[in-house]
Each structure stands twice: as C-alpha cells, then as structure tokens.
Chains A and B, each alone.
Chain A
Amino acid sequence: MIANYGYKDGSGDFFISIDTNKCMECEEKPCMEACPAGILEKFADDYNDVVVGVKEEHRKKIKYSCAECKPASGKRNLACQAACKPDAIAHTW
C-alpha cells in the first residue's frame, strides 16, 4: 500500500508517502531515529502489517514540521529518506 500522509492546501501539496509493502520488510526502521523532528512512528496498520507512518499530530502541519530539513534555499537534507534502506519514503515537496 502507498500511504500518503500530509495535506494539500492553497499553498501547495505536502505529502510524505510510504510504500508499506517495502517498509514492512524492514525490521529496524532507522528512519524514526533519523528524523530530527521525530514525526515518524511505528504501528500495526489495518491489515496488521508493522509499518512506519507520520504521527497524527504532525499530519496537518507537515510543511512546518519538516521545515528544518528543507531550507528556503540551499541543500536539502532529508534524513528519513537517507536512513531508509528499502527506499520506501518519498516527499512531494
């Protein structure tokens, strides 16, 4: 399953998408530790797969939560993506 967490508003599309089929194969889930804002969590989804998702309290302000890794200009450093071994995390913005 491709799970998209985030939102679209007047200012744009802000989603983190997680490929749960890839994510469930990874035991350690190092992405959670890697995220400086601590927005990721591990849980069992509706089909009982243990996967990573964006914490509820961050879903509606993800543009702001992720701001630290995405400066207005200069190099972006997406720590979660870099840490994800199965390449399951993508950002839309």
Chain B
Amino acid sequence: MVEVKEFWRWKEYNWKNPDIQWKDAAVITAGVDVGSVSSQAVVMCDNEIYAFANMRTGSDSPNGALNAMKWALEDTGMTLDDIHCKVGTGYGRVNVPFADRAITEIACHAKGANYMYGPTVRTIMDMGGQDCKAIRCDEKGKVVSFLMNDKCAAGTGRGMESFASLLGVSIEEVGELSLQVEEEPPPVSNTCVVFAKTEATGLLRSGWSTEKVLAAYCSAMAHRVVSLLERIGMEEDFAITGGIAKNVGVVSRLEKELGVKALKPRYDTQIAGAMGAALFAKALVEKGENR
C-alpha cells in the first residue's frame, strides 16, 4: 500500500506562560479565532498572554472553537467559567457557542497586531489559510483602511498547500527550500493556483529543480501581496501575520519587493486575530459590557 503523505500538515501546539498565576489576575479574557483552515485560542490575564493554542479547524466549527479553547486551557486548572469575557472572531465567529460577542477578524487583527508588534504598526498583511487581509490602522489599533480577499486561493495558505503537495514538499520546508537557488528565477506567470500548478509541471519537465519552482512560486505570491498592499496604501511600520508569515521564502521576497523590513514577531504570527479578540473582550469587561 502506498503511504499517503500529508504535505500540508503543520505542527499544532499549545503554550502556557509559567510566570503567571492566573488566580491572581483581576481580569481574565479569551479570544477565539475560528479560521477556515486553522483555529487559535488566546487567554489573557490582565495585560499579559497567559496561554494559547493553535490547531487545524475540524470539519464543524463549533467543535473547532471549543477544541482550541480546551487545548489552550489544558493543565491550567482554569475552566471556561473562570474567564470573564470571551470574544469570537474569524470566518467561523458566529459558530462560537460560548462567546459573549463576535467581532470581525479585520478589527481583531488590527487590535492584536497593535499589541503584538507595538503601537507603531500602521500596516498589517495577514496571510491566512483561506484569505489575505491588508489592513491599515492607527496608533490605537483602529482600522483606517482594509481589504480582504477570500475569493481566490492565490496568496493563501491553502494555495501554498496545494502547490506544495504537487511538488511533494512539506509546507513547513517550502520557505527554506525556495531560498536554495543560485539565481532568482522569474515568478510563475499564472496567478490562479490551478493554472500555476500546470505551469509548474511544465517547468519541472523542462528541467527546473523543485527549489527553483518553489522560488518562482514564492516570488509570485510576494508580488501578489504587494499589489494588495498598494491598493490600501503602505505605511511603516509593517507587520506580517498568519501562517504564511512563517514562510521565509515569501517573507524575504515580500520585504525585498517592498523595500521595507517587516517587524520581527515576538509571538506566534497565527494568533494575531485571537489576540485582538481577547483584547476586545478585555475592553468590554472594563466598560462593564461583558454580559
């Protein structure tokens, strides 16, 4: 029997801050970001991140939200009832049964990035599993301008997964491999992932190495993202969030084309949305609007 390799699979994990005793916290809030591909839950104690989990969304989103939340709370002794306010966000935000409020992922990403990267962030590029978001915000993390593209797989994690599967490369290795080329090849000319895959097959047949094809695809992806940023107007400081932010092949080419360095992430780039949701939850508690 042929073993079916899941090249798209990335590592799911949870994390807990060992320096925080949650029972001492005045305000405990949580944010859950239910995306089409991955879900994250973040628990905040006062102003600090206490715990989070990052996992793949299952086929039904109510369980996806609960699974992520439960995993974040694993071995903490904390239960859902200990959390003062919970906000759901992301594509599946209306399906978070335990949430007190649902807020769009655009607003949450801006708020989360403002916290994660600091108040100097003005432009955020979120490259998620099934969408791309270009967001401009002010020093408070309030959205000034945004654009979301969730119609087309080009520029998304799912598109990258589909491409990586064709080449038999694990999604986590794509970035590094794509940098192992002597000379930067011209980008793949087709934007559409379906057509780009046909193009890639042709390039491989004409003798291109896997690394070279990956380089051509990563640079096409970077180019596409730049065009989205141009539409909303690019202003520094600049941050990249989402799963693709972990792909050095795309990030380095994106920085090169923009002529701008992205801020170095201090946290997992995939938790920005859930982080923002937890911050919105905190603001609701402070305003006494959490129930």
A74 within 8 A of B: no
Q: Which A57-78 residues have a C-beta within 8 angstroms of B? A: 59-61
CB proximity of B221 to chain A, nearest CB, Å: 13
Q: Evaluate contact between A4 and B231: CB separation under 8 angstroms.
A: yes
The SS class assigned to the B binding surface is mixed
Residue in B142, B191, B192, B195 whose beta carbon sits within 8 Å of that of A47 in the complex? B142
Q: Which residues of B contact A46 (CB under 8 A)?
A: 103-104, 106-107, 143
Q: Which residues of B contact A3 (CB under 8 A)?
A: 145-146
Residue in A2, A7, A45, A47 whose beta carbon sits within 8 Å of that of B152 in the complex? A7
B240 within 8 A of A: no
Residue of A nearest to B106 (CB): A46
B166 within 8 A of A: no
CB proximity of A93 to chain B, nearest CB, Å: 12
Q: Which residues of B contact A2 (CB under 8 A)?
A: 144-146, 232
Q: Evaluate contact between A13 and B154: CB separation under 8 angstroms.
A: no
Q: Which residues of B contact A59 (CB under 8 A)?
A: 150-151
Q: Which B185-234 residues have a C-beta within 8 angstroms of A? A: 190-192, 195, 224, 227-228, 231-232
CA distance A9 to B148 in the complex (A): 12
Q: Evaluate contact between B107 and A9: CB separation under 8 angstroms.
A: no
Q: Which residues of A contact B148 (CB under 8 A)?
A: 4
Residue of A nearest to B195 (CB): A10
Q: Evaluate contact between B192 and A9: CB separation under 8 angstroms.
A: yes
CA distance A15 to B151 in the complex (A): 12
Mask, B21-62, CB within 8 Å of A = 1, is 000000000000000000000000000000000000000000
Q: Which residues of A contact B152 (CB under 8 A)?
A: 7-10
CA distance A1 to B104 in the complex (A): 14
CA distance A29 to B145 in the complex (A): 21
Which of B106, B143, B232 is the most central at the interface, judged by chain A CB atoms within 10 Å of its CB?
A: B143
CA distance A8 to B148 in the complex (A): 9
B252 within 8 A of A: no
Q: Which residues of B contact A13 (CB under 8 A)?
A: 227, 231
CB proximity of A20 to chain B, nearest CB, Å: 9
B147 within 8 A of A: yes
B interface list, Cβ under 8 A from A: 103-104, 106-107, 142-152, 154, 190-192, 195, 224, 227-228, 231-232
Given contacts A1-B145, A4-B146, A13-B227, 5 further A-B contacts (CB under 8 A): A2-B232, A4-B145, A7-B151, A8-B227, A45-B104
4 nearest CB pairs, A to B: A7-B151, A9-B152, A46-B107, A10-B192
Instruction: List 26 A-B residue pairs with CB atoms under 8 Å apart, sorted by A's residue number.
Output: A1-B145, A1-B146, A2-B144, A2-B145, A2-B232, A3-B146, A4-B148, A4-B231, A4-B232, A7-B151, A7-B152, A8-B149, A9-B151, A9-B191, A10-B191, A10-B195, A13-B227, A15-B231, A46-B103, A46-B104, A46-B106, A46-B107, A47-B143, A59-B151, A60-B151, A61-B151
A interface list, Cβ under 8 A from B: 1-4, 6-10, 13, 15, 45-47, 59-61, 92
